[in-house]
Amino acid sequence: MADPKKLFIKTYGCQMNVYDSERMAEAMGADGYVLTEAAEDADMVLINTCHIREKASEKLFSDLGRLKPLKQAKPGLKIGVAGCVAQAEGDEILRRMPLVDLVVGPQAYHRLPEMARSTGQQVDTDFPVEMKFDRLPERKTHRGPTAFLTVQEGCDKFCAFCVVPYTRGAEVSRPVDRILTEARGLVERGVRDITLLGQNVNAYHGAGQNGDYGLARLLREMAGIDGLERLRYTTSHPNDMDDDLIAAHGDLPQLMPYLHLPVQSGSDRILKAMNRKHSAADYLHLVERIRAARPDILLSSDFIVGFPGETDEDHAATLDLIRAVGFGAAFSFKYSARPGTPAAEKPELPEDITNARLYELQALVTSQQRAAQEAMVGREVGVLYEKPGRTAGQMVGKSDHLHAVHVDDPTGKVGELVRVRISAAVTNSLAGERLN
Ligand code: SAH
Ligand code: SF4
Ligand code: F3S
């Protein structure tokens, strides 16, 4: 038998790209490819790209530059570009970078094996009627106790700064039975913790046997899967946190006490200019209701600093909101003008102002993150072991609240869900002792 062909995949961007890369690897696996960790050994290199900020999309072109000598040494090497830059730039990529053989948009991944078999340059950035997931081969290869599962794709929100509605297209939800089948298959292969994914996951509305399901109803079905101990979902929009979903945080023990709920800004003026369609007070009220349902929930968020027109007062309002909520984690980004979005037409702020605001905001969220970690000391939490730690006899896993936890446990095994008493908070992680 001939040696299998080798595929190297580099993934940028959000968790949905991580999930897509797994599915593409499986689709190519059905066509005889195995994954390799080294681009130098590969017969095909696939770059799964992100277009969200300028810096993210520039990575594609620096990666392609580095691949030039490889392609010269091995002319048969196939180079593919997938993801949101592929969608946004399409055949422009082939013009700028003739070494690329194929460009495949996020909704066309089921066509990847066929494109890789063809000769000549290939582009597919269609948004087909049928969802790619219905045409990709079934999942077979998942390893490890945690998994992502995409249930919804695309976005209809059109925030003024964001490329996602253009690169991923309109909102589509996968049918309930497909999701449950995939989840059961993952659990059979040892998965105990599933994160449901969608660009707007809480806008999920999939067809089920008994009508239309929202995300809460889907989570309730998933909680019935034997052996599936933990559920999470990301990313949510504040306006789609309905009563049923909030209630699920109170009554579903499998639903973990961590919620990523991006707010972007604490200024009503900026929220309006961003087209977020809610006020800072709406967000604070929502947080109150979520905490009433699940008092120990840890909240995280995304912030954009330096949106066009942002004043010192607007920035101060964002800091006020952060102080009022107390986040357990937060991601903050300098505004990046993206081609084709409405905000890109507005004048940008001077960079030194944006840098100073980002610095101030990050200092505040870092102090909140530390406080949240320190508040865990002495508490008992669940930890799902994901891998051995760096020191011998140590295991590392995630707590219910998604903190990384190191545990001295020489007999511990990957995939075990154990009770741990947190003993110390160290930079970016916790340490604890196993109780059972
Ligand atoms: N669907 C999610 C997030 C998608 S993108 C939501 O609605 O919040 C992830 C994060 O990237 C966003 O929350 C936002 O904070 C950031 N982001 C998106 N576009 C950006 C831009 N043009 N400049 C800087 N940050 C951006
Ligand atoms: Fe982008 Fe999220 Fe807004 Fe959709 S809801 S446009 S994905 S930031
Ligand atoms: Fe990036 Fe596309 Fe995800 S732009 S953040 S890879 S949806």
- pLDDT tens digits along 35-60: 999 999 999 999 999 999 999 888 99
Domain end residue (candidates: 256, 285, 310): 256
Q: Rounded to 10 degrees, what is the CA torsion of 303, 308, 310, 311?
A: 150
Residue 353 has pLDDT above 80, yes or no: yes
123 lines ligand 2 (CB under 6 A): no
Residue 44's CATH number: 3.40.50.12160
Give a yes or no: residue 264 inside a domain. yes
**Nearest to residue 334, comparing CAs of 363, 314, 305, 291?**
305
Residue 36 belongs to a domain: yes
User: Do both 100 and 208 map to the same domain?
Assistant: no
Quick one: 343 and 415 in the same domain?
A: no
| Ligand 1 close to Cβ of residue 162 (< 6 A) | yes
**Shortest-distance ligand to the CA of residue 49:** 3
Atom of ligand 2 nearest to the CA of 276: 3
**In this structure, how many other beta carbons lie within 10 angstroms of the beta carbon of residue 8?**
21
Distance 54 CA to ligand 2 centre (A): 16
Q: Same domain, yes or no, for 264 and 247?
A: no
Q: Is 369 helix (H, G, I), strand (E, B) or coil?
A: helix
Predicted local distance difference test score (pLDDT) of residue 317: 98
| Nearest protein CA to atom 10 of ligand 1, as residue | 302
Report if residue 137 sits inside a domain. Answer: no
Tokens of residue 168, six digits: 């991923």
Q: Cβ(348) to ligand 1 under 6 A?
A: no
Domain that holds residue 196: 142-256
Q: Are 43 and 80 part of one and the same domain?
A: yes
The three-class DSSP label of residue 350 is coil
**What's the number of CA atoms in the CB half-sphere (13 Å) around residue 155?**
22
Please tell me the distance between residue 17's alpha carbon and the centre of ligand 3 in angstroms: 7
Q: In this predicted structure, what is the pLDDT of residue 1?
A: 56
User: Is residue 131 domain-resident?
Assistant: no
Specify whether 14 is located in the same domain as 119. yes
pTM of the full structure: 0.96
Ligand lying nearest the CA atom of residue 275 = 2
Tell me if 47 CB under 6 Å of ligand 3: no
In a shared domain, residues 193 and 89: no
Residue that has been written with the tokens 């446990």 in this structure: 409
Please identify, among 205, 229, 256, the residue that sits at the C-terminal boundary of a domain: 256
Residue to mutate, 15, 17, 81, 201, ligand 3, most ligand atoms under 8 Å from C-beta? 17
| pLDDT per residue as tens digits for the range 151-182 | 999 999 999 999 999 999 999 999 999 999 99
Q: What is the CATH number of the domain that holds 418?
A: 2.40.50.140
Instruction: Tell me: do 366 and 384 sit in the same domain.
Output: no
Cα angle value 224/286/276 (rounded, 5°): 105
Alpha helix segments (H runs only) across 120-211 = 132-135, 164-167, 176-188
Residue that is last in its domain, among 334, 355, 375: 375
Report the domain count for the chain. 4
Joined together, the tokens standing for residue 35 give 């994954």
Residues 268 and 248 in one domain: no
* Residue 332 sits in the same domain as residue 290: yes
Tokens found for residue 241: 């946190």
| 200 Cβ closer than 6 Å to some ligand 2 atom | yes
In a domain, 134, yes or no: no
**Co-location of 13 and 104 in the same domain:** yes
pLDDT (average), residues 389-411: 97
287 and 363 belong to one structural domain: yes
Which of 153, 200, 240, 261, when mutated, tests ligand 2's pocket best, judged by the most ligand atoms within 8 Å of its CB?
A: 200
Please state the rounded mean pLDDT for residues 125-131: 81
- Structure tokens given for 287: 């947080």
Region of 279 please: left (phi>0), alpha (psi -120 to 50) or beta: beta
CATH number at residue 273: 3.30.750.200
Q: Closest ligand 3 atom to the C-alpha of 52?
A: 4
Q: How many whole angstroms separate alpha carbon 84 and alpha carbon 57? A: 9
Q: What is the CATH number of the domain that holds 246?
A: 3.30.750.210
Distance CA 158, CA 155 (A): 7
Q: Is the CB of 161 under 6 A from ligand 1?
A: yes
Cα(95) to ligand 2 centroid in Å equals: 30
CA 69 – CA 60 distance, rounded (Å): 16
CA angle 240, 127, 202 (to 5 degrees): 15
CA of 262 to the centre of ligand 2 (A): 9
Ligand 3 contacts CB of residue 197 (under 6 A): no
Please indicate, yes or no, whether residues 201 and 303 belong to a single structural domain of this protein.
no
Mean pLDDT score across all residues of the chain:
95
* pLDDT, greater one: 221 or 128: 221
